[in-house]
Amino acid sequence: MTPTLLLTVAWMAVAHAVDPPAVLEIRAHSQAVAKAIAAGNAVTLEVDYNATRTPYPAVGNYGETLRFVRLWRFSEDEGQELDDRPAKIVHTSETAAMAWRGEYLFGSDGALRFAYVDDPRRGEFRFYFAQAENIRVIAGETVHDDTAAFSQAAGAVTSRAGELYALSATLLERHGKWEVFPD
């Protein structure tokens, strides 16, 4: 086989690789949440720490933003009701010239399903979770279905997502049902 033919066959195998059903399910859930947000079927609570981005001594500009997104549930029996659990949490942090971003997507059962992390020192990572197990990691452009090498990073991501999820529950408990007022 010529090197060109071998490269073509290898590219075709990668281009036509089939994603595992769990990954397809997570992507469908992510698209459904994005569609609900775009349609206005979500309520967002945003917490902005140092909103004016006042410089800190020896650090420079600093700020963190947390966005907790909850979706409306619709049922024939109860009508429209705001879900008590966040569907998505977005955490951004800016320090001097660096910006970090983490996005966490949760299932209707509250389990972490997907995490996107953009770390200026380490790059972009996408973590897929099914039944509390890390099933796929995409590091930059490279897909890893053997996730053993990423177990420490996946543990850190899971831990951070759990902390933010718990914070969401605390905010809900202390401040009620994030009341929504009509326009």
- pLDDT (tens digit per residue) in 127-157: 999 998 999 999 999 999 999 999 999 999 9
The two three-digit tokens of residue 73, written as one number = 């549930």
How far is C-alpha 16 from the geometric centre of its chain's CA atoms?
26
Please name every residue paired with 42 in a beta bridge, in sequence order, or none if there are none: 71
Tens digits of residue pLDDT in 2-46: 544 444 444 444 444 578 999 999 999 999 999 999 999 898 888
**Chain-wide mean pLDDT for the chain?**
84
Do 168 and 89 contact (CB within 8 A), yes or no? Answer: yes
The two three-digit tokens of residue 61, written as one number = 């500009």
Do 109 and 115 contact (CB within 8 A), yes or no? Answer: no
Domain boundaries along the sequence of the chain: 19-175
Phi, psi angles (nearest 5°) of residue 25 = -65, -40
pTM of the model: 0.82
The two three-digit tokens of residue 163, written as one number = 């902390």
